């Protein structure tokens, strides 16, 4: 019987870590967040991309609502929405200036919003507002130069970023997010973390109080007490003295051992 992998998401400083345990191979997805440092032209271009993505998202949502009003059996399908893009680019040339992946990812966001609504994880999708939670995502075509602290975004070019940590793993996607007057970049990566295999000869040891040591194979050792050991030695000498003849040389020798 198939059991789904365990996935755990953790917040860790400026990054988010998602851990998936699959057949003893730990697949880790991690987002590294940095401050982006675009020049004037790049900042305007990124802002324009956000506007294009917002336009496609809002217009598609409006169209889907009107289609559902005409036919309540209608449901959103990403493929149908994506097939409208070429026609929209012809009617609205400004959309051609935006990278096609950015527009497609905007539709994927709407698809996810619908899914979350129908699965009762969120409210019905809302229209996006200008300059509020602006973001664009690039699923591929991104290059990174950590030495020069630059990242190449499709159609934007090489953009500087403020490096605060090293990036681990293979880049899966990159998201650019507006933060007030500034921009941030979130780089999601993926890498495997294979735990070392244990062999039968390897035994774990747990040190304790009641038991001196307990092994992972079930064996244990009682605590070693110096007082208990001396007590047993004294009792043995006293029994030996009781068997010896009084005031004999051996009894006097045994008495000296008991005293010392």
pLDDT above 70 for 191: yes
Model pLDDT, residue 204: 59
**Greater confidence, 180 or 234?**
180
**Greater confidence, 72 or 158?**
158
- pLDDT tier at 37, thresholds 50, 70, 90: very high
Q: How many CA atoms lie within 13 A of 244 on its CB side?
A: 16
Model pLDDT, residue 4: 45
**Greater confidence, 212 or 165?**
165
- pLDDT tier at 220, thresholds 50, 70, 90: low
C-alpha 124, offset from chain centre: 28
pLDDT tens for each residue of 113-169 = 999 998 899 999 999 988 888 999 999 999 999 999 999 999 999 999 999 999 999
Tell me the DSSP string of 131-187: TSS-EEEESS--EEETTTTEEEETTTEEEEEE--S---SEEEEEEEEEETTEEEEEE
Q: Which residues contact 75 (CB under 8 A, 6 or more apart)?
A: 68
% of the chain at pLDDT higher than 70: 75
Structure tokens at 101: 């992946």
Model pLDDT, residue 8: 41
Q: Are 234 and 217 a contacting pair, CB within 8 Å? A: no
pLDDT above 50 for 228: yes
Model pLDDT, residue 185: 96
- Put simply, whether the predicted model's pTM sits higher than 0.85 gets the answer no
Model pLDDT, residue 225: 57
Model pLDDT, residue 3: 42
Segment 224-229 mean pLDDT: 57
Within 10 Å of residue 170's Cβ, how many Cβ atoms? 10
Please tell me the distance from the alpha carbon of residue 242 to that of residue 230, in angstroms, as a whole number: 19
Model pLDDT, residue 205: 58
- Alpha-carbon dihedral angle through residues 58, 64, 69, 73, given to the nearest 10 degrees: -160
Segment 60-81 mean pLDDT: 91
What's the mean per-residue pLDDT of the chain?
82
**Greater confidence, 218 or 154?**
154
Q: How many CA atoms lie within 13 A of 124 on its CB side?
A: 5
pLDDT tens for each residue of 76-108 = 999 999 999 999 999 999 999 999 999 999 999
């Amino acid at each position: 019987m198939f059991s789904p992998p365990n996935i755990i998401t953790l917040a860790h400083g400026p990054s988010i870590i998602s851990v998936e345990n699959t057949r003893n191979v730990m697949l880790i997805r991690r987002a590294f967040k940095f401050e982006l440092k675009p020049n004037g032209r790049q900042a305007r271009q990124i802002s324009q991309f956000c506007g294009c993505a917002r336009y496609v998202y809002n217009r598609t949502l409006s169209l889907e609502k009107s289609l559902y009003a005409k036919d309540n059996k209608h449901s959103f399908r990403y493929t149908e929405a994506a097939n409208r893009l070429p026609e929209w680019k012809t009617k609205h040339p400004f959309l051609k200036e935006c990278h096609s992946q950015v527009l497609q990812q905007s539709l994927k966001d709407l698809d996810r919003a619908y899914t979350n609504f129908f699965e009762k994880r969120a409210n019905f999708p809302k229209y996006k507002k200008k300059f509020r939670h602006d973001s664009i995502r690039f699923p591929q075509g991104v290059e990174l130069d950590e030495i020069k602290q630059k990242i190449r975004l499709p159609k934007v070019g090489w953009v500087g970023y403020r490096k605060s940590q090293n990036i681990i793993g293979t880049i899966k996607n990159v998201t650019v997010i507006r933060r007030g007057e500034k921009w941030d970049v979130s780089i999601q990566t993926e890498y495997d973390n294979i735990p070392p295999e244990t062999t039968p000869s390897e035994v774990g040891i747990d040190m304790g109080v009641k038991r001196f040591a307990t092994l992972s194979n079930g064996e244990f050792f009682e605590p070693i007490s110096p007082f208990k050991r001396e007590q047993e030695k004294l009792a043995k000498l006293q029994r030996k003295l009781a068997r010896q003849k009084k005031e004999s040389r051996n009894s006097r020798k045994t008495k000296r051992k008991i005293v010392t």
